[in-house]
Amino acid sequence: MKGKKKIASILACAMLLSAAPVEAMAYTVPDTVRVGLESVCKNVASASIGVWELQIGMQKGDGFQRGGVITSSGLFTARPAVGDYIAVDKTMDCADALDMANDMKKSGLDTYAAYLSGGDWTVYVKDASVSAVEAAADENASRVSFEGVAITGGEAPVLVPENAVMMGGNVADTFKLNSMPYRGMLTFSVNGSSMTGVNIIGLEEYLYGVVPSEMPKSYDAEALKAQAVAARTYAMTKLGAHTGSGYQLCDTTACQVYKGYSNESDATTAAVDATAGEVACYNGSPIEAVFSASTGGYTESSENVWNTAVPYLRAVPEPGEYGDNSWTKTLTLDELTALLQAKGENIGTAKDIVITKLSTGGRVQELQIVGTSGTKTLTKEAIRTYFSSACGTLPSKMFTINGKGGTVTGGTSTSAKGGLLSAAARQGIVAKTEGALSYLNGKKLSVDVDAAQPAQNTDNGAYAVYNVSISTVANGKFVFSGSGSGHGVGLSQKGAQGMAQMGYDYKEILCHYYTGITIEG
């Protein structure tokens, strides 16, 4: 284990942790969440449910109230069912409804055992008259409107209303939706002729499937715990993201990647259990705990990626990221000219790419594409994504072009104010970064700036954005040599692993990456 070095921001956060009263919490950690399974069942006309016994019932609080059970020798198939039906007015249990539906089917009727609520069932008939249904059932009948799903593959077709839920053979069992296994309950959000699968699951069990989907399960325990707290907190701030679609969260990168039961591991489950209920807060409220794979040596302040300066999303130097996080992309002048034309940019033939703003640590904050008749300025995430159709999206904004750029030094000195090394030293640590932008791995870079001028400073004075003017064209091409992956704001996952290997615990890791927070719960 590498020697553990104390960071000032971590020490300050530790004091806040000990002073945070539980009663000050102004939020509620939900017991269950509704997750739209968009990656496997979004806006589909049918879906398979892989379980031999399917319980049907209602959600009661955070639990399940069983109303009946249907069985299959193979797979169940679910399809949207919306429209008018003729309903037998008599209510009965599930077994009797299945028997009645099969008996009435002998009269040539399109019959379904229909779940109502609680333990009540009846029979619905499609495309029939009231009198025909009354004659076949020997019971009164009436016309009803229905919206939900039809499930086939069992003893008889079954109708399940949209507000009902389903589970595997018993409460502890999983179910499979389109071959993917999940814990908890299943329902569908129906929109006319299409539907999306929704997993209703305990928040902690949801995290069992999130943490190993977002961070390698081989990482050290303290890094996994940091990811678990970040994931729990982030989920709480995203609960309203998909309410218009009938669920709270999705299972993609638009929220957090969730791969259900199949991706769980003992190590990540232990990390979730060890931090159960813990949330990262700023001024008593859960933070938007964003994270990325690697920052390349220095994290980013939120306003340099998005539009708002967030007090807990401040740029900080990395104590040391895990692994080799370097990358290279190449773009020719001809490819850049074709890209400009395809995008409808009226700046003529491409001549150069000029870096015009750099921040402490070497992250490009603005660049200009220079053409024969104008310029195109790129800022924020457009710097990463603009070239995607030519050389691919740039993994990060921490890069040089043909060796030009790198850590701002204000001249030729490699230890001038504003550089990564000096910023790290002011916080009492030794910075260790990976890849082409590191001072400490023997790859010192020239900035090619006579007088870099600060354009913007953060409140701690250690981080700044500098106005520069760096022409980068060489031999008709641009070689982007960078480090890091993602937007760079908040928690660095490889940085968390590096800190864990140095001996930091998960609370220290979180407090380094999220400025001024407390861990509550």
With beta carbons less than 8 A apart as the criterion, state whether 248 and 241 touch. Answer: yes
How far apart CA 156 and CA 151 sit, in angstroms, is: 9
- What average pLDDT score do residues 358-373 get? 93
Query: Measured between alpha carbons, how far is 315 from 465 in angstroms, rounded to an integer?
Result: 11
Helix (H, G, I), strand (E, B) or coil at 357: strand
pLDDT for the residue numbered 219:
98
Q: State the pLDDT confidence band at 25, using cuts at 50, 70 and 90.
A: low
Least confident of 143-147, 343-347, 450-454: 450-454
Owning domain of residue 52: 46-192
Asked if residue 451 and residue 347 are part of one domain, the reply reads yes
More confidently predicted of 348 and 170: 348
The answer to whether residues 20 and 87 belong to one domain is no
Q: Find the mean pLDDT for residues 146-169.
A: 96
1-18 mean pLDDT: 45
* Mean pLDDT for the chain overall: 86
Q: Does a structural domain hold residue 2?
A: no
Q: Are residues 477 and 393 in the same domain?
A: yes
pLDDT tier for residue 465 given thresholds of 50, 70 and 90: confident
Residue 470: what pLDDT? 92
Q: What is the mean pLDDT of residues 418-441?
A: 33
Could you tell me what percent of the chain has a pLDDT over 70?
A: 84
One domain for residues 230 and 82: no
459/438: higher pLDDT: 459
> Same structural domain for residues 168 and 260?
no
Sheet hosting strand 194-202, strand order edge to edge: 63-71, 53-60, 165-167, 185-191, 194-202, 32-36, 249-250
Go through 139-169 and write b for each residue having 16 or more CB atoms within 10 A of its CB, e for each that does not: eebeeeebebbbbebbebbbbbbbebbbbbe
297 assigned to some structural domain: no
Q: Is the pLDDT of residue 243 over 90?
A: yes
- 439 has a pLDDT exceeding 50: no
Please indicate, yes or no, whether residues 112 and 176 belong to a single structural domain of this protein. Answer: yes
Q: How far is it, in rounded angstroms, from Cα 449 to Cα 128?
A: 82
| pLDDT surpasses 80 at 433 | no
Q: What is the pLDDT of residue 425?
A: 34
Is residue 174, in this structure, part of any structural domain at all? yes
Distance (Å, whole) CA 2 – CA 507 = 18
Q: Is residue 187 part of a domain?
A: yes
Tell me: the pLDDT tens digits for 50-62?
999 999 999 998 8
pLDDT tens-digit readout, 386-418: 999 999 999 999 999 999 988 664 332 222 233
The encoded tokens of residue 278 equal 């813990």
Same structural domain, 397 and 466: yes
Domain-located, residue 274: yes
Domain-ending residue, one of 157, 192, 227: 192
Supply the pLDDT for residue 49. 96
Same domain, 367 and 481: yes
Phi (first) and psi of residue 78, to 5 degrees = -110, 140
Instruction: Please compute the mean of the pLDDT values over residues 100-111 and round it to a whole number.
Output: 96
Residue 460 banded pLDDT, cuts 50, 70, 90: very low
For residues 11-38, average pLDDT: 64
When pLDDT is averaged across residues 44-49 and rounded to a whole number, the result is: 98
488-502 pLDDT, tens digit each:
999 999 999 999 999
The pLDDT assigned to 182 comes to 96
Work out whether the CA dihedral 148, 40, 225, 20 comes out positive or negative: negative
Domain shared by 479 and 507, yes or no: no
Quickly tell me which residue has 């390698």 as its tokens. Answer: 216
Domain-located, residue 380: yes
Domain membership flag for residue 221: yes
In a shared domain, residues 496 and 482? no
Same domain, 171 and 236: no
Among residues 168, 192, 216, the one where a domain terminates is: 192
Q: What is the mean pLDDT of residues 355-363?
A: 89
What is the pLDDT, as a whole number, of residue 408? 60
Mean pLDDT of 59-83: 94
Closest CA to 97 of 109, 112, 81: 112
pLDDT, average across residues 189-210: 97
Total tally of structural domains belonging to the chain: 3
Has residue 309 been placed in a domain?
Answer: no
One domain, residues 482 and 362: yes
Query: And the tokens for 380?
Result: 């924020």
Query: pLDDT at residue 22 above 80?
Result: no
| Torsions phi, psi for 507 (to 5 deg) | -70, -40
